[in-house]
Amino acid sequence: MTDYQIDPSLQQSVPSAEERMEEAYGALVREREEGIAGYYNLPEDSRLVIDEVEAQAASTPEIQAADTIVVIGIGGSSLGAKALDQALRPLHAGAKRILFLENPDPLELQAKFARIDKSKSLFLVISKSGGTIETTSIFKAAIEHFGLEIDGADRKRVIVITDKDSILNRYADDHGLQSYLIPHNVGGRFSVLSAVGMVPLTLAGYDTRAILEGARKLVDDFFGRRADHLLRKGIFLAEHWERYRINVLFAYGSYLEDFTKWYVQLWGESLGKIDAEGKRVGLTPAGHIGSVDQHSFLQLIIEGPRDKSVTFLQIADFGEDLTIPRISLKHIEKNDYINGHSFAELLNAECDATRESIAGEGIPTDLIRMDRLDEAHLGELILYYELLTSIVGAALHIDTYNQPGVELGKKILVTKFQTKD
């Protein structure tokens, strides 16, 4: 179970808030019914992907022998799976290792190549468009470094995930590579519950069906009007974005760091747009880890510009009872009040105290409190943020699913290299 607590100040909106909620809800219903955004259907549709992956694994010795999944992809093609892998790995010691080759940083690539044994690895090449320059470049480097025989002995070690009829899909067909398709109406940053995330996570050994089930329950609750807290929060953020321009996600759990990075891409790429009237709109995302960043960013929140809203993400049960020893240190006895309490108690008390201090300053806050960190709760969390993003986008009257600002930089990059040639 996940509990959602919205601070009273975050529920205050304009007199037309209820109308705006209905308008945003209707927009998401239309997106779902007309197929404008396909992520709403992934919790059901991706079950077939899992079935196919498991069947392939059962009949492929190379997959059975592999202990490492090498994901070659960037942005939406890697961040979601990376977030789930990081969050779940402490609970699944037997999961196969996943290495993410994302950034064309030569030092990092060489270091990661050195950790890969081709004979025990699978290579997943992920690109929705099929032509992502970072991904294709790293794939070429892997082919050369490991001597991958794409048309021979290593064919079953390489799996492609892309759009139907993309240039990467055509490459896979030409070489007889196993490929999985991303639905055409699912953008990269909304694709973690598609083959993009389900294939590597299933191969690694995680319970991906539970991830989908957690997501499905929230989809059903939202469209069944049992999760209107999402609408209230989304409308507040959209109505007051010019005052509260920055939305801070404070996650209290070290293994949620990659989740905050996924949220930053989802939020920034979806909500920073020019609207139909030519106005620049959007909310800036900031992802932080408690309690570490309490010792830095919190100062800016409390005494800096009042341009932020803050969401706290808390885990009720870490499944770990590590306790602070009953030891008294000379001259530091003032801290003995914490002796005998668990570190989970300490971390969550810090979360509660920080939220109380921020809310006391009149800064809008809300809390997402998960019972525990597992597949079902994380699947729900993924859908929570995807739905919230769509609600805010609908309320801002923008196209939540395009990214013209990103595409411009890609075009300029191409011209730079073409000019050099």
- Choosing from 164, 175, 341, 410, the catalytic residue is 410
Are 141 and 236 contained in the same domain? no
Q: What is the pLDDT of residue 417?
A: 80
Joined together, the tokens standing for residue 411 give 């075009």
Enter the tokens of residue 55.
């069947």
Do the domain assignments include residue 413? Answer: no
Point out the domain boundary residue: 206, 223, 245: 206
Query: Identity (one letter) of the amino acid at 228?
Result: D
The pLDDT of residue 54? 98
Instruction: Give Dmax (Cα) for the chain.
Output: 72
Asked if 270 and 255 sit in the same domain, the reply is yes
Given the residues 34, 277, 295, 330, the one annotated as active site? 295
Same domain? For 264 and 371 the reply is yes
Same domain, 193 and 240: no
| Structure confidence at residue 12 (pLDDT) | 56
Among 206, 223, 257, the domain boundary falls at 206
Q: Is residue 411 part of a domain?
A: no
In a domain, 328, yes or no: yes
At 7 the pLDDT is: 74
Answer yes or no: do 21 and 83 share one domain.
Answer: no
Q: Quick one: 43 and 100 in the same domain?
A: yes
Residues 220 and 261 in one domain: yes
Query: How far is 148 from 146, CA to CA, in rounded Å?
Result: 5
CB proximity list for 366: less than 8 A, separation 6 or greater: 4, 5, 6, 7, 10, 233, 309, 310, 311, 312
Q: Which residues of the chain have pLDDT under 70?
A: 1, 8-15, 419-421
* Residue 13 pLDDT: 56
- 242 and 331 fall within a common domain: yes
Rounded to two decimals, the pTM is: 0.95
Q: Assess if residue 412 is contained within a domain.
A: no
Residue 227, domain member (yes or no): yes
Instruction: Give the number of domains in the chain.
Output: 2
Q: Examine residue 60 and state whether it is found in any structural domain, yes or no.
A: yes
Phi then psi dihedrals of residue 6, to 5 deg: -105, 125
Q: Quick one: 236 and 365 in the same domain? A: yes
Where do we find the tokens 């609207």?
A: 275
- Cβ atoms of 366 and 355 within 8 Å: the answer is no
| 397 in active site | no
Indicate if 258 and 347 belong to the same structural domain.
yes
Closest listed residue to residue 293, CA positions, set 350, 362, 244:
350
- Full domain range(s) for residue 360: 2-33+211-404
Q: Give the domain CATH number at 125.
A: 3.40.50.10490
Q: Say yes or no: 164 and 59 in one domain.
A: yes
- Is residue 392, in this structure, part of any structural domain at all? yes
Distance of alpha carbon 280 from alpha carbon 265, whole angstroms: 18
Domain assignment present for 300? yes
What's the confidence (pLDDT) of residue 414?
79
- Count CA within 13 A, CB hemisphere, residue 236: 24
* 410 noted as active-site residue: yes
Of 179, 206, 233, which residue constitutes the final position of a domain? 206
Q: Which of 239, 269, 375, 380 is catalytic?
A: 269
C-alpha–C-alpha distance, residues 306 and 151, integer Å: 59
Residues 145 and 179 in one domain: yes
Question: Residue 16's pLDDT is what?
Answer: 79
Q: Quick one: pLDDT at residue 120? A: 98
